[in-house]
Structure 1
Amino acid sequence: MDITRLADAKAYIAPKHYDMRSLRLQGLEASSADFGWTGLSYFLPGGGAEMDAGALGKIYVVIEGEVTIELGSGETHILGKLDSCFIPAGEARAVRNDANSVAAMLVVMPYPEKTA
Protein backbone atom coordinates (compact mmCIF):
# COMPACT_ATOMS: atom_id res chain seq x y z
CA MET A 1 0.00 0.00 0.00
CA ASP A 2 1.20 3.52 -0.82
CA ILE A 3 0.06 6.38 1.42
CA THR A 4 0.45 10.03 0.47
CA ARG A 5 -0.07 12.40 3.37
CA LEU A 6 -1.32 15.83 2.32
CA ALA A 7 1.67 17.39 4.10
CA ASP A 8 4.00 15.34 1.86
CA ALA A 9 2.15 15.72 -1.47
CA LYS A 10 4.26 17.34 -4.20
CA ALA A 11 3.08 20.22 -6.36
CA TYR A 12 2.89 19.80 -10.13
CA ILE A 13 2.26 22.19 -13.01
CA ALA A 14 -1.02 21.75 -14.87
CA PRO A 15 -0.73 23.23 -18.38
CA LYS A 16 -3.23 25.94 -19.40
CA HIS A 17 -4.33 26.53 -15.78
CA TYR A 18 -4.13 29.89 -14.01
CA ASP A 19 -4.43 31.04 -10.38
CA MET A 20 -4.45 27.38 -9.37
CA ARG A 21 -2.16 25.15 -7.36
CA SER A 22 -2.14 21.39 -7.74
CA LEU A 23 -0.80 18.51 -5.67
CA ARG A 24 -0.24 14.92 -6.80
CA LEU A 25 -1.95 12.56 -4.36
CA GLN A 26 -1.55 9.19 -6.10
CA GLY A 27 0.06 7.75 -9.23
CA LEU A 28 2.95 8.96 -11.37
CA GLU A 29 5.72 10.12 -9.01
CA ALA A 30 3.46 9.95 -5.91
CA SER A 31 2.80 6.20 -5.73
CA SER A 32 2.91 2.93 -7.60
CA ALA A 33 -0.74 3.12 -8.74
CA ASP A 34 -0.66 1.37 -12.10
CA PHE A 35 -3.97 2.43 -13.68
CA GLY A 36 -4.11 6.20 -13.24
CA TRP A 37 -3.39 9.17 -11.02
CA THR A 38 -5.22 11.57 -8.70
CA GLY A 39 -4.52 15.25 -8.17
CA LEU A 40 -5.90 17.89 -5.84
CA SER A 41 -6.47 21.30 -7.43
CA TYR A 42 -6.94 24.50 -5.41
CA PHE A 43 -8.52 27.24 -7.54
CA LEU A 44 -8.14 30.77 -6.20
CA PRO A 45 -11.03 33.21 -6.74
CA GLY A 46 -11.01 33.96 -10.49
CA GLY A 47 -8.75 30.97 -11.18
CA GLY A 48 -9.41 28.25 -13.69
CA ALA A 49 -8.35 26.26 -16.71
CA GLU A 50 -8.54 27.41 -20.33
CA MET A 51 -10.90 25.79 -22.82
CA ASP A 52 -9.15 22.63 -23.98
CA ALA A 53 -9.99 19.10 -25.11
CA GLY A 54 -7.79 16.42 -23.59
CA ALA A 55 -6.88 13.12 -25.21
CA LEU A 56 -8.04 11.22 -22.11
CA GLY A 57 -11.26 11.26 -20.13
CA LYS A 58 -11.18 12.70 -16.62
CA ILE A 59 -13.29 12.81 -13.47
CA TYR A 60 -13.70 15.94 -11.36
CA VAL A 61 -14.98 15.82 -7.76
CA VAL A 62 -15.48 19.17 -6.03
CA ILE A 63 -14.60 18.85 -2.34
CA GLU A 64 -14.87 22.50 -1.31
CA GLY A 65 -16.51 25.59 -2.81
CA GLU A 66 -17.94 25.73 -6.33
CA VAL A 67 -16.49 25.49 -9.82
CA THR A 68 -18.09 26.34 -13.13
CA ILE A 69 -17.51 23.89 -15.97
CA GLU A 70 -18.11 25.31 -19.44
CA LEU A 71 -18.23 22.87 -22.33
CA GLY A 72 -17.13 23.61 -25.88
CA SER A 73 -20.81 23.56 -26.87
CA GLY A 74 -21.41 26.58 -24.60
CA GLU A 75 -23.28 24.50 -22.02
CA THR A 76 -22.37 25.56 -18.45
CA HIS A 77 -22.69 23.69 -15.15
CA ILE A 78 -21.91 24.77 -11.58
CA LEU A 79 -20.59 21.98 -9.38
CA GLY A 80 -20.78 22.33 -5.60
CA LYS A 81 -19.33 20.34 -2.73
CA LEU A 82 -19.28 16.60 -3.52
CA ASP A 83 -20.74 17.12 -7.01
CA SER A 84 -18.77 15.34 -9.70
CA CYS A 85 -18.57 15.01 -13.46
CA PHE A 86 -16.92 12.87 -16.12
CA ILE A 87 -15.42 14.68 -19.12
CA PRO A 88 -14.94 12.22 -22.01
CA ALA A 89 -11.77 12.22 -24.11
CA GLY A 90 -11.93 14.89 -26.81
CA GLU A 91 -14.66 16.98 -25.14
CA ALA A 92 -13.55 20.59 -24.71
CA ARG A 93 -14.03 22.14 -21.30
CA ALA A 94 -13.02 25.21 -19.32
CA VAL A 95 -13.01 25.39 -15.52
CA ARG A 96 -13.32 28.52 -13.41
CA ASN A 97 -13.91 29.61 -9.85
CA ASP A 98 -16.33 32.53 -9.96
CA ALA A 99 -16.63 32.77 -6.17
CA ASN A 100 -14.63 34.84 -3.68
CA SER A 101 -13.39 31.77 -1.80
CA VAL A 102 -10.98 29.00 -2.73
CA ALA A 103 -12.43 25.93 -4.47
CA ALA A 104 -10.85 22.49 -4.13
CA MET A 105 -11.33 19.68 -6.63
CA LEU A 106 -10.03 16.13 -7.02
CA VAL A 107 -8.95 15.16 -10.54
CA VAL A 108 -8.84 11.47 -11.47
CA MET A 109 -7.07 10.55 -14.73
CA PRO A 110 -6.08 7.28 -16.42
CA TYR A 111 -2.59 6.80 -17.75
CA PRO A 112 -2.22 7.04 -21.53
CA GLU A 113 -2.24 3.66 -23.26
CA LYS A 114 1.23 2.41 -24.00
CA THR A 115 2.01 1.82 -27.65
CA ALA A 116 4.28 -1.01 -28.71
Structure 2
Amino acid sequence: MHLKRFKEAQAYEAPHHFGCHGLRLQGFEAGGPANQWVGYSQFLPGGGAGPDARPFEKVYVVLEGEMTVIVDGEETVLGRLDSCTIAPDEVRRIENRGQDTCKMLVVIPYPAEV
Protein backbone atom coordinates (compact mmCIF):
# COMPACT_ATOMS: atom_id res chain seq x y z
CA MET A 1 0.00 0.00 0.00
CA HIS A 2 1.17 3.50 -0.80
CA LEU A 3 -0.16 6.05 1.68
CA LYS A 4 -0.10 9.76 1.05
CA ARG A 5 -1.75 12.18 3.45
CA PHE A 6 -3.69 15.18 2.14
CA LYS A 7 -1.26 17.54 3.89
CA GLU A 8 1.53 16.03 1.72
CA ALA A 9 -0.23 16.76 -1.59
CA GLN A 10 1.78 19.01 -3.90
CA ALA A 11 0.24 21.88 -5.83
CA TYR A 12 0.51 21.82 -9.61
CA GLU A 13 -0.39 24.13 -12.49
CA ALA A 14 -2.58 22.52 -15.13
CA PRO A 15 -2.33 23.88 -18.69
CA HIS A 16 -5.28 25.94 -19.96
CA HIS A 17 -6.88 26.13 -16.48
CA PHE A 18 -8.02 29.36 -14.82
CA GLY A 19 -9.47 30.11 -11.39
CA CYS A 20 -8.21 26.69 -10.32
CA HIS A 21 -5.97 25.34 -7.58
CA GLY A 22 -4.78 21.77 -8.22
CA LEU A 23 -3.23 19.31 -5.79
CA ARG A 24 -1.67 15.99 -6.78
CA LEU A 25 -3.06 13.35 -4.40
CA GLN A 26 -1.34 10.34 -5.95
CA GLY A 27 1.17 9.82 -8.72
CA PHE A 28 4.61 10.76 -10.02
CA GLU A 29 6.29 9.34 -6.90
CA ALA A 30 8.13 6.20 -5.88
CA GLY A 31 5.71 3.51 -4.76
CA GLY A 32 2.70 5.38 -6.16
CA PRO A 33 0.28 4.21 -8.85
CA ALA A 34 1.86 2.70 -11.95
CA ASN A 35 -0.75 3.66 -14.56
CA GLN A 36 -2.40 6.95 -13.59
CA TRP A 37 -2.28 9.90 -11.26
CA VAL A 38 -5.05 11.53 -9.23
CA GLY A 39 -5.59 15.26 -8.90
CA TYR A 40 -7.85 17.29 -6.65
CA SER A 41 -8.99 20.46 -8.43
CA GLN A 42 -10.74 23.37 -6.75
CA PHE A 43 -12.41 25.74 -9.22
CA LEU A 44 -13.54 29.13 -8.01
CA PRO A 45 -16.80 30.57 -9.38
CA GLY A 46 -16.01 31.58 -12.96
CA GLY A 47 -13.07 29.17 -13.10
CA GLY A 48 -12.63 26.46 -15.66
CA ALA A 49 -10.41 24.94 -18.31
CA GLY A 50 -10.07 24.70 -22.06
CA PRO A 51 -11.10 24.43 -24.67
CA ASP A 52 -8.49 21.81 -25.33
CA ALA A 53 -7.98 18.10 -25.96
CA ARG A 54 -5.37 15.60 -24.85
CA PRO A 55 -4.32 12.31 -26.47
CA PHE A 56 -5.49 10.33 -23.42
CA GLU A 57 -8.75 9.87 -21.57
CA LYS A 58 -9.50 11.48 -18.23
CA VAL A 59 -12.17 10.99 -15.59
CA TYR A 60 -13.82 13.81 -13.63
CA VAL A 61 -15.67 13.20 -10.36
CA VAL A 62 -17.41 16.20 -8.78
CA LEU A 63 -17.18 16.10 -4.98
CA GLU A 64 -18.83 19.45 -4.21
CA GLY A 65 -20.50 22.16 -6.26
CA GLU A 66 -21.31 21.92 -9.95
CA MET A 67 -19.27 21.89 -13.14
CA THR A 68 -20.57 22.48 -16.66
CA VAL A 69 -18.81 20.26 -19.21
CA ILE A 70 -19.07 21.32 -22.85
CA VAL A 71 -18.27 18.79 -25.61
CA ASP A 72 -19.28 19.31 -29.26
CA GLY A 73 -21.52 22.21 -28.24
CA GLU A 74 -23.49 20.05 -25.80
CA GLU A 75 -23.52 21.25 -22.19
CA THR A 76 -23.85 18.85 -19.28
CA VAL A 77 -23.92 19.93 -15.64
CA LEU A 78 -22.22 17.58 -13.22
CA GLY A 79 -23.28 17.77 -9.58
CA ARG A 80 -22.13 16.09 -6.38
CA LEU A 81 -20.75 12.60 -7.09
CA ASP A 82 -21.57 12.81 -10.80
CA SER A 83 -18.70 11.75 -13.06
CA CYS A 84 -17.76 11.62 -16.71
CA THR A 85 -15.03 10.26 -18.94
CA ILE A 86 -13.48 12.53 -21.55
CA ALA A 87 -12.27 10.43 -24.49
CA PRO A 88 -8.79 10.79 -26.01
CA ASP A 89 -8.59 13.82 -28.35
CA GLU A 90 -12.12 14.94 -27.40
CA VAL A 91 -12.26 18.73 -27.24
CA ARG A 92 -13.81 19.83 -23.96
CA ARG A 93 -14.34 22.98 -21.98
CA ILE A 94 -15.35 23.07 -18.33
CA GLU A 95 -16.83 26.05 -16.48
CA ASN A 96 -17.88 26.62 -12.90
CA ARG A 97 -20.95 28.76 -13.45
CA GLY A 98 -22.13 28.49 -9.86
CA GLN A 99 -21.47 30.64 -6.81
CA ASP A 100 -19.65 27.91 -4.86
CA THR A 101 -16.22 26.42 -5.32
CA CYS A 102 -16.37 23.22 -7.36
CA LYS A 103 -14.16 20.45 -5.99
CA MET A 104 -13.29 17.60 -8.33
CA LEU A 105 -11.15 14.50 -8.48
CA VAL A 106 -9.40 14.02 -11.80
CA VAL A 107 -7.86 10.68 -12.84
CA ILE A 108 -5.42 10.82 -15.75
CA PRO A 109 -3.00 8.23 -17.17
CA TYR A 110 0.66 9.10 -17.17
CA PRO A 111 2.05 10.69 -20.34
CA ALA A 112 3.74 8.19 -22.68
CA GLU A 113 7.23 9.48 -21.77
CA VAL A 114 6.86 8.84 -17.99
C-alpha distance in 2 between matches for 1:99 and 1:30: 38
C-alpha distance in 1 between matches for 2:78 and 2:66: 6
Structure 1 match to 2:80 = 81
RMSD of the alignment, in Å? 1.6
1:112 offset after TM fit, Å? Answer: 2.8
Q: How many residues align?
A: 114
Structure 2 match to 1:52 = 52
- After TM superposition, the runs of 4+ consecutive aligned structure 1 residues lying more than 4 A away are none
Segments of structure 2 that go 5 or more residues without pairing to the other structure are none
Identity among equivalent pairs (%): 48
C-alpha distance in 2 between matches for 1:68 and 1:30: 35
C-alpha distance in 1 between matches for 2:3 and 2:101: 26
Structure 1 match to 2:99 = 100
C-alpha distance in 2 between matches for 1:37 and 1:18: 21
| Correspondences of 1:1-116 after superposition (within 5 Å) | 1-29=1-29, 32-71=32-71, 73-113=72-112
Segments of structure 1 that go 5 or more residues without pairing to the other structure are none
Tell me the TM-score normalized by structure 1.
0.92
Tell me the TM-score normalized by structure 2.
0.94
C-alpha distance in 2 between matches for 1:31 and 1:51: 33
